[in-house]
A and B are shown apart, each in its own frame.
Chain A
């Protein structure tokens, strides 16, 4: 945004954090805490999802890694996320969102009973 009054530059990291916060505010969407060298890593609905932005001019492509409440319909949920994130990010930053790639990293039941089992993946 350049004019005789000055210019406004938004770093990609700002867009990433804004997008991440928009996602965190959505119900049933969570992220993963990386922890220290992988120790203490945890996934829950209170953590901000991870977002990576690729800028091209005034448009952006987002890669999102998130978790969803189970058994949310994944396709519908991610379409809603895509629409909401695009519109909110455009409203907040003025950057046009071209594509939002979503990778679902985990699914957690709403009523968590995960501490009761000795589950292992085959």
Chain B
């Protein structure tokens, strides 16, 4: 249910791959003497002294430090992007006329209410909910753990009918997407001690 940074990873890998490919092609071109036509004097048997002189300049160390810092920032940002994120909806504004006042409700409030509602479904042991999207196009992501002897079809039917209808009714708009993930709870975390008739 949490979102991973798969898209960012693919983009990063494509960029790094292209850079490596270009570097490899350049090395091949130099070693075969093809680069000499583009940059005169750049051949495989050439003395490396001019390159060494550039590295030995006073500001070369500063450039190296700046480059290292930039690379470190990119690496830290990439690492931070790997943390799975919920991407919950921003606080929903639901008033009809803002001049008379605004109504605000957070995605967590809706998610908690839906999770409470899910627990009213027989045989649901645990429920986790994320609300994404906007007030006009809300998306509901649901994970429920059901008892291992539960009637899965009945649970799914109850969620797709009653639970989503209640959520739509509360939000005043149709859910644009509903994601449902089912898990089987093999351990009973609680035992009912009484029954109300």
- A118 contacts B126, CB within 8 Å? yes
Stretch touching chain A among B5-13, B15-23, B29-37, B115-123: B115-123
Question: At the interface, is chain A mostly helix, strand, loop or mixed?
Answer: mixed
- A107 contacts B189, CB within 8 Å? no
Q: Which residues of A contact B166 (CB under 8 A)?
A: 70-71
Q: Which residues of B contact A119 (CB under 8 A)?
A: 112, 115-116, 118-119, 126-128
Classify chain A's interface size: 20 to 34
Q: What 1/0 mask marks residues of chain B from 84 to 114 whose CB sits below 8 Å from any chain A CB?
A: 0010000000111001111111001111110
Q: A113-B116, A114-B119, A122-B86 are in contact. Are A78 and B103 (CB under 8 A)?
A: yes
- Per the bound structure, the CA–CA distance linking A57 and B189 in Å amounts to 58
Question: At the interface, is chain B mostly helix, strand, loop or mixed?
Answer: mixed
A-B contact pairs, 21 of them (CB 8 A): A72-B169, A72-B170, A75-B94, A75-B95, A75-B96, A75-B172, A78-B94, A102-B102, A102-B104, A103-B103, A104-B105, A106-B112, A107-B109, A111-B120, A114-B116, A116-B190, A118-B126, A118-B189, A119-B127, A120-B126, A121-B112
Q: A105-B109, A107-B113, A113-B116 are in contact. List 17 more A-B contacts (CB 8 A).
A: A70-B166, A71-B169, A74-B103, A78-B103, A79-B95, A86-B100, A99-B101, A102-B102, A106-B113, A109-B116, A113-B119, A113-B120, A114-B116, A117-B124, A119-B128, A120-B126, A122-B130
- Which chain B residues have a beta carbon within 8 Å of chain A's beta carbons? 1-2, 86, 94-96, 99-105, 108-113, 115-120, 124-130, 143, 165-167, 169-172, 189-190, 192
